[in-house]
Amino acid sequence: MLQANWGDTLFTLQKGDITQVETQAVVNAANSRLAGGGGVDGAIHRAAGPELMAECREIGGCPTGQAVITGAGCMKALKVIHTVGPIYRGSPKDAELLADCYVNSLERARENGLATVAFPSISTGAYGYPLDQAALVALSAVRDYLMAHAGVFKEIKMVLFDQTALDAYQRALDEL
C-alpha cells in the first residue's frame, strides 16, 4: 500500500529527494546543534541556501525528540521543520523519542497553519535506527496524530530516498 486516509488527511509514501517535493513544510532530520551535516540535512541546507543556516544559528539548538521551525530559504516550500532523531542505542527510549519527532513536527506545522508536510525517514541514516522498526514507529505516530487531529492537514508525505526504504515503509503500512 502506498497511501492511506487518516482523519481526513491523505497520507502517502513516495520515493525521491525531499528537496524536490511539492509541499508547504519540509521536515529536516537535524542534529541537536542545528549545525547542518550530511544526509538529508546537507541536502536541505544546499537547496535552501545560507539563509537557513543563519536562522538555525539564531535558534542555537534543539533537544532530541523536539522540533523547531524556520523559513525555507530559496526552496519552494514555505517552512522547514527541524527535528532531532535519536541515535539508535537499542533502548526502549529510542522508539519514544522517534515518535516524539513526528508528533512535535506535526505540532509545529499545525501551529503554523501548514496544510502539507513532507517527512524524510528520521534516524535511519547516520543515526543507525533499523529501517523496519523506524518505519513502524513513524507510521503509527503519524496515524495516531492525524486521527486525533482530523481535518487539520491536507496531505502528509513520507519521502523515501531509495527503494529499500520505500519497501520498508510500504511493509510497515501494510502491517499497521
Smallest distance from ligand ADP to CB 8, Å: 26
Per-residue interface string for the shown chain with ligand ADP, residues 144-163, x marking contact by CB under 6 A: ---------------x-x--
Task: Work out which of 122, 136, 158, 173 binds ligand ADP, going by CB under 6 A.
Answer: 122
Query: Quick one: which of 15, 24, 109 has its CA closest to 75?
Result: 24
To the query of whether residue 41 is one of the catalytic residues in this protein, the response is yes
Q: Which of residues 17-76 bind ligand ADP (CB under 6 A)?
A: 17-19, 29, 39-41, 43
108 vs 157 by CB, closer to ligand ADP: 157
Q: In what order do the strands lie in the sheet with 116-119?
A: 3-6, 9-15, 155-160, 116-119, 25-30, 79-84, 67-71
Exactly one of 11, 68, 94, 125 binds ligand ADP (CB under 6 A); that residue is 125
Catalytic positions are 41
Positions in the binding site for ligand ADP (CB under 6 A): 17-19, 29, 39-41, 43, 85, 120-127, 159, 161, 165
